[in-house]
């Protein structure tokens, strides 16, 4: 599928190196849990041994169509969100990669409704074949729920004021249906903002995360990783904002230490399930060439031998 929108994969070399443990002919089954436009997947395939296998997941139908262009018997794609990695057999995966960023074609295509920079329908669904769009949700959501979403997922200090403006607009002129309408409403409500940041940035982030249940899916996928990773298998996660990174950081920290049962102080502790390895940020050169990489953080962990 040809489109005018291109995507530059963030932390491409670093993520693949971490996932494959530096191997140039990796064997086993690997998982690209968020295919996107296939940058990481193609790089992994280039490093896989002939008997290796790569399974990709993505809920975006356009991403699945892009994956169909890969003609490689070692590769398969599933039209599912990455919470579905738990359906894979236990201890069957040698490496699991999650790139949590929204792809540039999703952001730059006005029809998808992800960006305040373009006028388009207020959609924001990763999977446009199912679920409720942001516009549909805002048409009926209560003020308190809207405010909580903006506050919790956007870390927006003007959440209540923005929610009130959305409800007032709905009562006066009908629901908001386009990205431009929402961006202008937020800009008229938020009087101060960090230099260089559009007033609507945090609100758009909040609605996208909420409508796609992104944080809940991340938590489910991380928990599933403990089952599907084989001993010595690598977990590599690229996050792009503090809410995601906090979940990943806390998950790795929680499972990277032995657990003692206070009710049985002399009992042997439960073994740690992960070993934290690296925290990697993009180089200055990468950020200069791709500003969307500036907030990315790659965290890497390894499944331990014992459970």
pLDDT in tens, 37-94: 899 999 999 999 999 999 999 999 999 999 999 999 999 999 999 999 999 999 999 9
| Highest CATH level, class, for 12-104+214-303 | alpha beta
- Class of residue 96 by CB neighbours under 10 A (exposed 0-12, middle 13-18, buried 19+): buried
Nearest-5° angle of CA 255, CA 260, CA 265?
Answer: 175
230-260 confidence digits (pLDDT tens): 999 999 999 999 999 999 999 999 999 865 5
What CA–CA distance (Å, rounded) separates 125 from 112?
7
Say what the pLDDT of residue 1 is: 38
User: Which CATH number does the domain 128-211 belong to among 1.10.3720.10, 3.30.70.20, 1.10.150.170, 3.40.50.2300?
Assistant: 1.10.150.170
Assess whether pLDDT exceeds 60 at residue 228: yes
Residue 199: predicted pLDDT: 93
Burial of 11 per CB tally in 10 Å (0-12, 13-18, 19+): buried
Give this prediction's pTM: 0.90
pLDDT, averaged across the chain: 91
In whole angstroms, give the CA distance from residue 117 to residue 99: 23
The structural domains of the chain, with segments of one domain joined by +, span 12-104+214-303, 128-211
Domains 12-104+214-303 and 128-211 share a fold: no
Given a cut of 70, whether residue 2 has pLDDT beyond it is no
User: For residue 260, which phi and psi values (nearest 5 degrees)?
Assistant: -100, 140
Q: What percent of the chain is predicted at pLDDT more than 90? A: 79
């Amino acid at each position: 599928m040809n489109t005018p929108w291109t995507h530059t994969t963030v932390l491409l070399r670093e993520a693949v190196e971490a996932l494959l443990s530096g191997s140039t002919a990796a064997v086993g089954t690997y998982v690209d849990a968020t295919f996107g436009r296939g940058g990481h997947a193609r790089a992994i395939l280039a490093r896989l041994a002939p008997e290796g296998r790569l399974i990709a997941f993505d809920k975006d139908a356009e991403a699945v169509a892009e994956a169909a262009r890969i003609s490689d018997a070692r590769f398969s794609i599933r039209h599912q969100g990455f919470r579905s990695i738990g359906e894979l057999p236990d201890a069957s995966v040698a490496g699991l990669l999650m790139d949590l960023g929204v792809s540039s074609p999703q952001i730059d295509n006005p029809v998808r409704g992800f960006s305040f920079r373009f006028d388009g329908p207020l959609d924001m669904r990763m999977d446009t074949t199912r679920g409720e769009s942001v516009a549909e949700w805002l048409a009926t959501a209560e003020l308190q729920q809207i405010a909580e979403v903006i506050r919790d997922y956007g870390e927006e200090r003007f959440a209540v004021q923005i929610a009130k403006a959305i409800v007032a607009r709905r009562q006066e002129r009908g629901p908001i249906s386009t990205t431009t309408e929402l961006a202008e409403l937020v800009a008229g409500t938020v009087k101060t903002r960090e230099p260089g940041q559009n007033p609507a940035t945090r609100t758009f982030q909040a609605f996208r995360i909420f409508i796609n249940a992104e944080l809940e899916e991340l938590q489910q996928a991380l928990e599933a990783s403990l089952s599907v990773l084989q001993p010595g298998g690598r977990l590599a996660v690229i996050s792009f904002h503090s809410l995601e990174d906090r979940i990943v950081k806390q998950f790795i920290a929680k499972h990277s230490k032995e657990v003692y049962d206070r009710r049985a102080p002399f009992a042997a502790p439960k073994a740690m399930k992960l070993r934290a390895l690296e925290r990697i940020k993009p180089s200055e050169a990468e950020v200069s060439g791709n500003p969307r990489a500036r907030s990315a953080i790659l965290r890497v962990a390894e499944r331990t031998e014992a459970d």
